[in-house]
Amino acid sequence: MLFEGLSGKLQEAMKKLRGKGRVTEKDVKEMMREIKLALLEADVNFKVVKDFIGKVSERAVGQEVLESLTPGQQVIKIVHEELINLMGSANSKVTFSSKPPTIYMMVGLQGSGKTTTSGKLANLLRKQGKKPLLVACDVYRPAAIKQLQVVGSQLGIEVFSMGDKTNPVDIAKAAVEYAKSRQYDLVIIDTAGRLHINEELMEELQNIKEAVRPQEILLVVDSMTGQDAVNVAESFNEKLGVDGIILTKLDGDTRGGAALSVKAVTGKPIKFIGMGEKLNDIEPFFPDRMASRILGMGDVLSLIEKAQEAFDEKKALELEKKMRTQQFTLEDFLEQMQQIKKMGPLNQLLAMIPGFNANVMKDIELDEKKMARVEAIIKSMTKEERNNPSIINGSRRKRIAAGSGTTVQEVNKLLKEFEEMKKMMKMMTEMGKRGKKGLKKF
């Protein structure tokens, strides 16, 4: 699993707060200490960790948590939101020039995955309707040109090459002319890398940049190299200026440091991630999905948000009081059902819960039908009847059944169930009261 160590530790740190009715400053401090250690162990940049902890701590002891009915969940939501911010908030797309061909210049150190990623990107954008040309500008590494040609032939994408005796700047210029004359609308230039950053390399890249004025310079970095990847990105960005980062080898057992720090340190977004050696293994980078994956949340966050949208917290408190004081009526029951419905179809909601068993879905559909009938019955009652069901005599029952398209038996059943529910509420409240005085009497 992605960032397994980090994921496990973060989840462990937050477990203690989940479902807590009250969160103290001490709870938050303790959790933040554990989160800090987990991030540092995952090789996240020290300054980034400090900043992150500061932001989360400040929010976690603030208004939004204190005033919430579910403070534990609120804190988790804050950690999630700040993780997303750390990685760049929204998905950053590559851009295209208004006048084709669009030119992307791929840069990065040797072994980062530049050649493979050039092929992957050409393949991905071709699926979106582009006609790409790959350009072999690495004239130093033996076999680099051959490697790109192999990638190109596997994909059925043309590779422009002039051998290893021509200057890379001239190759790039010629390639763009070639693309224009053959209606290619995307040119992806695979440039040379080095084992380390050096002046000579930067100068050559600078020259190619000036000669062809690429729409985007995409920096390929190897996530397995952790903080080194971040340092490399910082240097490339300072010396050459990059528009986006492609993080490779996220399928390996990388600890997560590069993914979590590179945007914060360089200010440049991660646009794609490499998830394997095959030419299909590339994905656009979504900070929110990555944060959910790291926190092992499935899509529970959307679920919490939906619940927050649908439920008014004040109303929930009123309802709870009504239940305690036996004033809960059919009218309240109807309102509650409608609030649940506002959140969307039940089976869709349940599907957001990680590990939810799909077999249960069939029963849910039946329940939804049942819910719709119950709703129809209550809606066919007058306000007076809803507030005081004891007045519903035989002729009223007939009228309600006819009005809701159900049967008298169904109306009877609902009224009986509602009475039983009220009895149960009463019992629970009394048990609660006795419980407080001490259970010995039982």
Distance CA(382)–CA(388), nearest Å, equals 10
Q: Does 397 engage in binding with ligand GDP (CB under 6 A)? A: no
Residues 226-245 that bind ligand GDP (CB under 6 A): none
| Residue number, nearest CB to ligand GDP | 274
Q: Does 277 engage in binding with ligand GDP (CB under 6 A)? A: yes
Stretch that binds ligand GDP, among 87-95, 272-280, 346-354, 383-391 (CB under 6 A): 272-280
Q: What is the DSSP letter of 138?
A: -
Distance CA(228)–CA(161), nearest Å, equals 31
Among 71, 108, 168, 287, binds ligand GDP (CB under 6 A): 108
**Could you give the 3-state DSSP secondary structure of residue 231?**
helix
Give how many residues touch ligand GDP by CB under 6 A. 18
Question: What minimum distance in Å lies between the beta carbon of 118 and ligand GDP?
Answer: 8
Query: CA nearest 260: which of 36, 29, 1?
Result: 36
Alpha helices in 42-113 (DSSP H): 46-60, 63-66, 71-86
Among 88, 256, 257, 274, binds ligand GDP (CB under 6 A): 274
Q: Does 161 engage in binding with ligand GDP (CB under 6 A)? A: no
The strand order across the sheet containing 216-222 reads 159-160, 132-136, 186-190, 102-107, 216-222, 244-248, 270-274, 282-284
Residues 166-195 that bind ligand GDP (CB under 6 A): 193
Question: What residue type is 226 in one-letter code?
Answer: G
Question: Which CB, 125 or 303, lies closer to ligand GDP?
Answer: 125
State the binding site for GTP.
108-115, 190-194, 248-251
Question: What minimum distance in Å lies between the beta carbon of 173 and ligand GDP?
Answer: 22
Among 102, 115, 161, 215, binds ligand GDP (CB under 6 A): 115
State the binding site.
108-115, 190-194, 248-251
Among 19, 241, 252, 267, binds ligand GDP (CB under 6 A): 252
Kindly state the tokens that stand for 263: 């945007």
Q: Does 276 engage in binding with ligand GDP (CB under 6 A)? A: yes
DSSP string, 354-396: TT--GGGHHHHHHHHHHHHHHHHHHHTS-HHHHH-GGG--HHH
**Could you give the 3-state DSSP secondary structure of residue 412?**
helix
Question: What minimum distance in Å lies between the beta carbon of 220 and ligand GDP?
Answer: 6
Q: Does 59 engage in binding with ligand GDP (CB under 6 A)? A: no
Contact 270, 244 (CB under 8 A): yes
Q: Which residues bind ligand GDP (CB under 6 A)?
A: 108, 110-116, 193, 248-249, 251-252, 274-277, 281
